[in-house]
A and B are shown apart, each in its own frame.
Chain A
Amino acid sequence: MSTPVTEPATDAAASAPQPLTMAGALNAALRDAMAEDDRVVVYGEDVGPLGGVFRVTDGLQAAFGEDRVWDSPLAEAGIVGTAVGMAMYGLRPVVEMQFDAFSYPAFEQIVSHVAKMRNRTKGRVSLPMVIRIPCAGAIGGVEHHSDSSEAYWAATPGLTVVMPSNPADAYSMLREAIDSDDPVVFMEPKSRYWSKAELTLPVRTAPMNRAQVVREGSDVTLIGYGPTVRTALDAAAAAEAEGLSIEVVDLRSISPFDDETVGASLRKTTRAAVIHEAAQFGGYGAEVAARLTERNFFHLAAPILRITGYDIPYPSPKLEEHYLPTPDRVLDALASWEWDLA
Chain B
Amino acid sequence: MSLNVEHHEPRVLPSEKPIRLLDNAGHALRGRETGGFELPPVERLLDLYRRMVIARRFDVQVTALTKQGRLATYPSAFGQEACEIGVVSAITADDWLFPTYRDSIALLTRGLEPGEILQSFRGDWHNGWDQHAHRTAAMATPLATQALHAVGLAHAARLRNDPIVTLTYLGDGATSEGDSHEAFNFAAVWQTPTVFLVQNNQFAISTPIARQTHATTLADKAVGYGMPGYHVDGNDVAAMFAVATAAVDRARSGGGPTLIEGLTYRIESHTNSDDPTRYRAARDVEHWKRRDPIERLEKYLVSEGALTDDIRADITEAGEALAGRTRDAMSETPELDPLELFDHVYATPRPALAEQRAALEAELAAHAGQAREEVAAR
A residues neighboring B (CB under 8 Å): 45-46, 48-51, 53, 71-78, 101-102, 104-105, 140-145, 281, 310-313, 315-319, 322-323, 328-329, 332
Give chain A residues whose Cβ lies under 8 Å from the Cβ of B126.
142-143, 313, 316
Report how far A78 CA is from B121 CA in the complex, Å: 29
Of chain B, the residue at the smallest CB distance from A315 is: B341
Q: Is the interface of A mostly helix, strand, loop or mixed?
A: loop
Q: Please, could you name 26 A-B residue pairs with CB atoms under 8 Å apart, sorted by A?
A: A45-B207, A48-B206, A48-B207, A49-B278, A50-B279, A71-B207, A73-B213, A101-B142, A102-B143, A105-B142, A105-B177, A105-B178, A140-B72, A140-B123, A142-B141, A143-B126, A144-B142, A310-B342, A312-B341, A312-B353, A315-B341, A316-B120, A318-B122, A318-B123, A318-B124, A319-B125
Expressed in whole angstroms, the minimum distance between the Cβ of A53 and any Cβ of chain B is: 7
In contact, A323 and B178 (Cβ under 8 angstroms)? no
Asked if B92 is at the interface of the complex by the 8 Å CB criterion, the answer is: no
In contact, B205 and A53 (Cβ under 8 angstroms)? yes
In contact, B123 and A75 (Cβ under 8 angstroms)? no
Give chain B residues whose Cβ lies under 8 Å from the Cβ of A140.
72, 123
In contact, A49 and B123 (Cβ under 8 angstroms)? no
Expressed in whole angstroms, the minimum distance between the Cβ of B93 and any Cβ of chain A is: 26
Report how far A76 CA is from B363 CA in the complex, Å: 40
Asked if B311 is at the interface of the complex by the 8 Å CB criterion, the answer is: no
In contact, B341 and A74 (Cβ under 8 angstroms)? no
Report how far A74 CA is from B205 CA in the complex, Å: 10
In contact, B356 and A316 (Cβ under 8 angstroms)? no
Report how far A96 CA is from B73 CA in the complex, Å: 23
B contact residues, range? 35 or more
Expressed in whole angstroms, the minimum distance between the Cβ of B66 and any Cβ of chain A is: 12
Give chain B residues whose Cβ lies under 8 Å from the Cβ of A48.
206-207
Give chain B residues whose Cβ lies under 8 Å from the Cβ of A142.
72-73, 120-121, 123, 126, 141
Give chain A residues whose Cβ lies under 8 Å from the Cβ of B36.
none
Give chain A residues whose Cβ lies under 8 Å from the Cβ of B334.
318
In contact, A319 and B177 (Cβ under 8 angstroms)? no
In contact, A49 and B342 (Cβ under 8 angstroms)? no
Expressed in whole angstroms, the minimum distance between the Cβ of B357 and any Cβ of chain A is: 8
Contact flags B228-264 to A (C-beta < 8 A → 1, else 0): 0000000000000000000000000000000000000
Q: Which of A74, A76, A281 contacts B207 (CB 8 A)?
A: A74
Asked if B176 is at the interface of the complex by the 8 Å CB criterion, the answer is: yes
Give chain B residues whose Cβ lies under 8 Å from the Cβ of A144.
141-142
Expressed in whole angstroms, the minimum distance between the Cβ of B365 and any Cβ of chain A is: 12
Give chain A residues whose Cβ lies under 8 Å from the Cβ of B338.
319, 322
Most buried by A among B123, B141, B278, B334: B123
Report how far A104 CA is from B73 CA in the complex, Å: 23
Report how far A141 CA is from B122 CA in the complex, Å: 10
Contact flags B188-223 to A (C-beta < 8 A → 1, else 0): 000000000000000011110001110000000000
Most buried by B among A104, A312, A316, A322: A316
